[in-house]
Structure 1
C-alpha cells in the first residue's frame, strides 16, 4: 500500500461545528476535519476550489491519539487532523443553508 497524497475532493472530510468553531465564525474562520496526510497548501487549494472563496491562511492541529476501550479490548480512536481556515474579507462559506 502506497502513502500517496489524497485528491482535492478527498482532503476535506467535514466541517466541525463545536462551540469554539462557532465563535471563530465571527472572525471569518472555519474549522474542518481534513485528511491527516494533507498539507496546508493542499487544504487551501481544496477550500478555494470547492467553495470558490479566497483563503488567507490555514492553521492545522494534529491532536494526540486517545485510547478507547470496548470491553476488554483496548485500541485508539480514528486519527484525524483539524484545519482552521481564515477567509478573505467578504467571503463566506454557507455551513447552515436556509431550510
Structure 2
C-alpha cells in the first residue's frame, strides 16, 4: 500500500481552509463536516476517494467536484496561464473530523 500512496497522493494539491467564517456557506461546511481540497484536474472521484480515505483514515459519504477555469497570468510582455485545478468538497459519513494539525 506504500507504493499506492507514493504514486497517487501527488494528485491532492492542497486543502482550502474557510477564511470567511461569517458567511452561511462556510458555517454549514464546518457544522456538517465538509472539507474542501484542490486536486489535479485529471483525477476522478473514485481515485480521490481512495486516496483521502487511506491517508486520513476516514470514510467519505459524498464527493462533489468543480472544475475551476484557468486564469491568465502576465509577466512583463509575456502572457500565459496558471495551472488548472479541480475543487473537491467531501462529506464525512460518521461525522468525524480531520485533524490537520498535530497536537504535541
| Same-fold status (TM-score > 0.5) | yes
Q: 1:22 to 1:97 in 2, by over 3 A?
A: farther
The size of the alignment, in residue pairs, is: 94
CA distance in 2, matches of 1:14, 1:49: 16
- Which residue pairs with 2:59 in the alignment? 54
How far apart in 2 are the matches of 1:81 and 1:37? 8
Name stretches of at least 5 consecutive residues in structure 2 with no aligned partner.
1-6
Deviations 1:3-54 (A, max 9, x none): xxxx432222211123368531221100011111110111111111000100
User: What TM-score comes out, normalization by structure 1 length?
Assistant: 0.81
Aligned counterpart, 1:4: none
CA RMSD across the alignment: 2.2
4+ aligned runs moved over 4 Å, structure 1: none
**Paired position in structure 2 for 1:38:** 43
TM-score by length of 2: 0.77
Partner of 1:10: 10
